[in-house]
Amino acid sequence: MISSEKPARHASLLSAAVVVAALGYFVDIYDLVLFSIVRVPSLKALGIVDAAILDQGVLLLNMQMAGMLVGGILWGILGDKRGRLTVLFGSILLYSLANIANGFVQELWQYAALRLIAGIGLAGELGAGITLVSEVLPKEKRGYGTMIVATVGVSGAMLAYWVGEQFGWRTAYFIGGGLGLALLILRVSVFESGMFEKAAAAAHIHRGDFLSLFSNKERLQKYLKCILMGIPLWFVVGILITFAPEFGRELGISGEVSAGKGVFWCYFGLVFGDFLTGWLSQRWRSRNRVMLVFLGLSAVLIVVYLFTLRGSTLSTVYAVCFALGLASGYWAVFVTIAAEQFGTNVRATVATTVPNFVRGSVVPMTLAFQALKGPLTLVGAAATLAAIVLLVAVWAVATLPESYGKELDYYE
Lowest mean pLDDT among 165-169, 199-203, 338-342, 395-399: 199-203
DSSP codes joined into one string, 122-169: HTTHHHHHHHHHHHHS-TTTHHHHHHHHHHHHHTHHHHHHHHHHHH-H
Per-residue pLDDT band for 202 (boundaries 50, 70, 90) equals confident
- Rama region for 248: left / alpha / beta (φ>0; ψ in -120 to 50; rest): alpha
Predicted structure pTM score: 0.82
pLDDT digits (tens, 9 = 90+) for 299-344: 999 999 999 999 899 999 999 999 999 999 998 899 889 989 988 8
Do 282 and 399 touch, CB atoms closer than 8 A? no
**Mean pLDDT of the region 57-75:** 86
Cα–Cα–Cα angle for 264, 266, 267, nearest 5°?
A: 65
Let me know if 308 is exposed, middle or buried by CB neighbors in 10 A (0-12, 13-18, 19+): exposed
- Rama region for 48: left / alpha / beta (φ>0; ψ in -120 to 50; rest): beta
Domains assigned to the chain: 10-190+209-402 (1.20.1250.20)
Q: What is the model's pLDDT at position 188?
A: 62
Per-residue pLDDT band for 11 (boundaries 50, 70, 90) equals low
Q: Is the pLDDT of residue 289 over 60?
A: yes
254 pairs with which residues across the strands?
Answer: 313
Let me know if 190 is exposed, middle or buried by CB neighbors in 10 A (0-12, 13-18, 19+): buried
pLDDT digits (tens, 9 = 90+) for 345-370: 888 889 889 988 888 788 889 889 98
What is the amino acid identity at position 64? Q
User: DSSP H helical segments within 229-343, as ranges?
Assistant: 231-235, 244-250, 259-283, 287-307, 314-327, 331-340
Output the CA torsion sign for 237, 37, 254, 367: negative
Q: What is the model's pLDDT at position 196?
A: 72
**Mean pLDDT of the region 258-274:** 89
Q: What percent of the chain has pLDDT over 90?
A: 40
Q: What is the model's pLDDT at position 3?
A: 44
